[in-house]
Structure 1
Amino acid sequence: MAAQPSADACLEMSAHKAAARTYLKLRLDLDKQQAPLWNELEAIAAENDTAMLELCTDRPANPEGRSLVARSERAEIRLDRRLAALKALNVPLRKLYATLSAEQRAVVDALPMPLPF
């Protein structure tokens, strides 16, 4: 089971995701119809980043010394939050994707994992 990232690592991941979203927004050169859809998607992504960062900074004392069961439960909480985040992004992402041109779709379809959302 993977260790929980440190608070610094979580902040770094959050910053990278925010930067990647900014880069992607600039690359897509969104039109007036697409901008509100992007803003909705970005707001949800930012909320998700904040929720994950809060979980990451709310680390138990001595996480390595905790029992296997406790670590497993903590991993399940992280995965549940990540799944909830993906589900929250699903509808706005589909709405935006439906408005993208072929060139814009080529940009987003080439995104590496993990996605910046």
Structure 2
Amino acid sequence: MNIQILHFDSIDFVAYDIFFLRAQMLKKSYSETLIEQEYAHFNTMNDAQINLIEQSTMAVPPSGEGSYIHESIRAAIAEFIELGEQGLRENLSAFLQEMVQVAELVATVNNFGARG
């Protein structure tokens, strides 16, 4: 049996998030104290440790395909920032409307099949 799991060390993940991706908007997600602790932690890491974190962070779960590189993650973050809160809400609303239509269709088909 081949079992694969992804493990994230939150300290390493935050350090990568803030310092390697250098996503300024992500810093708003963390307290100043945590950022200072992460800065100290990041400065103790060698290239091999940073590469391991990047590989773990950018890997797609075993059920998925492919992986990401930090440039593509930065681009995705930039797209989310450009959309803004209102744009993200509109996208979520459109997605949910589509999902409701599919769910209603599936329920209709299942109900019809149960009668037949």
User: Larger C-alpha radius of gyration, 1 or 2?
Assistant: 2
Q: Which bin holds the TM-score, normalised by the shorter protein?
A: under 0.3
TM-score normalized with structure 1 length: 0.24
Q: Larger relative contact order (C-alpha < 8 A, sep ≥ 6)?
A: 1
TM-score normalized with structure 2 length: 0.24
